[in-house]
Structure 1
Amino acid sequence: MKRSALIAALLVFSVSTSARTGFAQVPQVPETRAEIQLSFSPVVKETAPSVVNIYASRVVEERFSPFAGDPFFSQFFRSGPARQRVQRSLGSGVIVSEDGLVVSNYHVVGEASDIRVVLADKREYKGEVILADKEADVAVLRLDGASGLPALPLADSDALEVGDLVLAIGNPFGVGQTVSSGIVSGLARSGSAIPGGAGSYIQTDAAINPGNSGGALVDMSGRLVGINTSILSRSGGSNGIGFAIPANLVREFTRQAEAGQTRFIHPWSGVTTQAVDDAVAEALGLDRPEGVVLAELHPQSPFAALGLTAGDVIMSLDGQPVLSPSDLEYRLSILPVGSKVKLSALRAGEPVELELSLIAAPGSEETQRVEIRSSGPLGGMVVADVTPALIDEYGLSLKASGVVLLEAQGASARLGLQRGDRIVEVNNMEITTAEDLQKVARQRSSMWLLTVDRGGRLLRMRVR
């Protein structure tokens, strides 16, 4: 009996030893004191000086309305006594160039009137937003008079893999610079469950809390892999589900800021797409769900120029698989306008390799602002004929045409209209050009009937 037990023990030891020898490269659970004492401190010492605290403030106007909170009437009755108040925000940022370029979130510094940036060594600088994009939630600051700052190198975020170790560095709740550790929990995250919805985010379980926004997500080589931007939480605190903007998008923002751009310019797709699920894959004859299906193409879309049509499938762009509609837009946004990239697609069911020319949305330099001059309720409107650039800016349907509102001033400001509203009809007259709107606005009428398209919903209003 003792002999059998001894043999069994030796066999267990033998298997364990051979497993360790045969798979020496597989990560092991720390067992010795030396392994347990391994620390992230070398990475923190290298990266923490590049993460800054940001204190921003802006003056906002608040108007009281008896219809405030009403889901319908609040769209039209916004007038009321205005009062100003100072709104303050606290966040983080990352130094990306020695001469004082700092990247943060738009929701931290966007539209701020005063920005104060405090470095890890307590030095303070005045910051100015030089490039920002609300939809991407990215802003680039220039620090006044800064030089010789500790810049953080950017990693290739496409090289990340689920399970990679990462550190989140920021200023949660204003307690001071704080480091938390975790792993990459997911890649190319998007959807309605994510605050912001659009985009293609890195998911991490490293603790991210209010104040971490704009801070760094770094890898074990001390490189920036993402900008922490949001969390998914019912309580408002960290729940182990945080999201970061990939470093490859940060790189393109930095490139454009250094080139002197004041507005982020991204390649225009001119398409709407649908994710390929199991049912769609079966209908298309695919082995498994992959890519995105083209649902609609604008006549000036660069995809249409390649002969692609509705029903064709985009498989990969620039060598990277396209995982979702949001991922396609992200893949385009990290590439410079004017370049050409390889595109893999299924055209009419046949695999093709194409070269896609990346263009900005046409019409961005051709927008003709027209101010409506009238003593009636339409006076003061600033409008323009719909172009692909305005379709892209305001998220209009690819089929949109006619006239879009750019600004409401004077009498028109009291109508409750919003930027991006498309003027469809006035007094039962179809509005196809800004000139049409100018003509009808000059007419005399005791009652004005307006039909407006807002986000695909037709709103009708009567104005005396």
Structure 2
Amino acid sequence: GRPRRGTGSGVIVDPEGYILTNYHVIRGASTVRVKTFDGKTYVPEVIGVDPETDLAVIKISRGDPFPYARMGDSNKLRVGDWVLAIGSPFGLEQTVTAGIISAKDRVTDGENAPFQRFLQTDAAINPGNSGGPLVNLMGEVVGINTQISTSTGYFNGVGFALPSSLAVEVYNQLVRRGRVARGYLGVYVKPVTPPIARLNGLKEPQGALVESVTDPESPAARAGLQTGDIIVEIDGEPVRDSRDLTRRVASMDVGRTVRLKYIRDGREYVTSVKLGVRPSLADRREEPLRDEPRGKNAQPPEEKKSSGPSRLGATLEPVTPHVADVLKLGAVRGAIVREIEEESFAETLGLMPGDVILSINRVEIRSPEDVKRLFEGLRSGDDVVMIVARANRGVGPSRSVLSGTIP
């Protein structure tokens, strides 16, 4: 077929011709051309890309220095400050639109969410604006226009720009070594829910819940962190939530040793962790795929089904040696979830067929009968925090922490 063409924007930030833009502007392109404000065209060199933040640095060259934009400090911006968005929406070059900073530290959905906290603006941003600068009234670049929130594909009054504080940090690493190296703990984390907070004696949900450790040799595993731990401080600074932890660890130098305070079973502990190198997005499939085991080798033999507690709404079975081996349980223990009733508490918790329940409210589960006995003592309004083993296609076995309050 005929080659597809796309248009994006960028900003020259150095007289030698270094340009900041979005990674998605150049991603997958067989040829990239840069047209500058004076109408001249250049074929750039790609210096480096960072898919995690959707930023890229490219470079154009000529004998004379290029005019360039000065970077500003996005941390000094306040909601209500006037800003200008510059770019080529719909291919209309050198277009300037005006608006204000509508919000700061805005988080959007997506695989890059842990590293992206946007400036929100009502300056018009449309297709073709991506990679262009958001500037303050002094002409300083305070953001890189990246996303819009829309149901039509066009501007609906809400646009997002990566703040210059983040862009400068990524730019410096890409120019220096062509890639971004981020600190890495080696844990999957999720938000602390009210039931989990109450079970661990926290006054309110805070910190990052360790759902599972990526592998036995990860920095977190070597430091002794386990599923169900709640990381509440890093180097003496409180951890607000799981996104906060991921972003702060990623911003730290590889090889740095940090002190973590965490809660386990309601008690505080402190450990030291030497940070590793976070795998790049291209090398990592870190988000667990929520699939049950696939293929003949992953399927346990059929067992006689036994009904689970009515409050749970799930059919349970004993764990077989085969399942214990597949899920690396270390012993034949737990209760397999076979079926989930619709609109049941089990469905609300997020249980899935094939999950193995390992513990409930810190009580180890060795058989379906343990689950029944435990639920017999629970009443409406009681919290349930459950650790399950789950087989994830393409990722391998992992642990998940599920929580809820019995209706």
TM-score range for the pair, normalised by the shorter chain length = 0.5 to 0.7
Flag the 1:109–1:397 CA change in 2: closer, same or farther, 3 A: closer
Structure 2 stretches lacking a partner, 5+ long: 300-321, 327-391, 398-407
Please give the TM-score of this superposition, normalised by the length of structure 2: 0.61
Residue 393 of structure 2 is aligned to residue 453 of structure 1: yes
Q: Tell me if the contact between 1:115 and 1:127 (Cα under 8 Å) persists in the aligned partners.
A: yes
Q: Report 1:109-128 matches (<5 A).
A: 109-128=26-45
Give 1:58's aligned residue.
Answer: none
For 1:395, give the aligned amino acid.
Answer: R
Give 2:227's aligned residue.
Answer: 310
SS in 2 for 1:115: coil
Q: Quote the offset at 1:128 in angstroms.
A: 2.2
SS in 1 for 2:185: coil
Q: Tell me if the contact between 2:13 and 2:69 (Cα under 8 Å) persists in the aligned partners.
A: yes
Flag the 1:329–1:233 CA change in 2: closer, same or farther, 3 A: same
Q: Report 1:157-168 matches (<5 A).
A: 157-158=74-75, 160-168=77-85
For 1:143, give the aligned amino acid.
Answer: I
Give 1:129's aligned residue.
Answer: 46
Structure 2 distance, partners of 1:273, 1:307, is 15
Q: Quote the offset at 1:340 in angstroms.
A: 4.9
Q: Report 1:10-409 matches (<5 A).
A: 84-145=1-62, 148-158=65-75, 160-192=77-109, 199-202=115-118, 203-261=120-178, 263-298=179-214, 299-315=216-232, 322-340=239-257, 345-348=261-264, 349=266, 356-361=273-278, 389=279, 393-396=283-286
Q: Quote the offset at 1:231 in angstroms.
A: 0.7
Structure 2 distance, partners of 1:347, 1:393, is 31
Please give the TM-score of this superposition, normalised by the length of structure 1: 0.55
Q: More helix per residue: 1 or 2?
A: 1
Structure 2 distance, partners of 1:211, 1:423, is 42
Q: How many pairs align?
A: 304
What are the Cα deviations for residues 100-127 of structure 1, in whole angstroms up to 9, with x where unaligned? Answer: 1111111111232222212234343221
Structure 1 distance, partners of 2:162, 2:296, is 41
For 2:277, give the aligned amino acid.
Answer: A
What are the Cα deviations for residues 84-109 of structure 1, in whole angstroms up to 9, with x where unaligned? Answer: 43111101112222211111111111
Q: Quote the offset at 1:360 in angstroms.
A: 0.9
Give 2:374's aligned residue.
Answer: none
For 1:98, give the aligned amino acid.
Answer: P
For 2:47, give the aligned amino acid.
Answer: I
Structure 2 distance, partners of 1:190, 1:346, is 25
For 2:164, give the aligned amino acid.
Answer: A
Structure 2 distance, partners of 1:319, 1:248, is 23
Structure 1 distance, partners of 2:261, 2:132, is 37
Flag the 1:274–1:181 CA change in 2: closer, same or farther, 3 A: same
What are the Cα deviations for residues 402-429 of structure 1, in whole angstroms up to 9, with x where unaligned? Answer: xxxxxxxxxxxxxxxxxxxx9988999x
Rg: which structure is higher? 1
Structure 2 distance, partners of 1:89, 1:310, is 45
For 1:294, give the aligned amino acid.
Answer: V
Q: Quote the offset at 1:135 in angstroms.
A: 4.0
Q: Quote the offset at 1:136 in angstroms.
A: 2.9
Cα root mean square deviation, aligned: 4.1
What are the Cα deviations for residues 321-363 of structure 1, in whole angstroms up to 9, with x where unaligned? Answer: 655434433333334434456x5633435667776543215xx
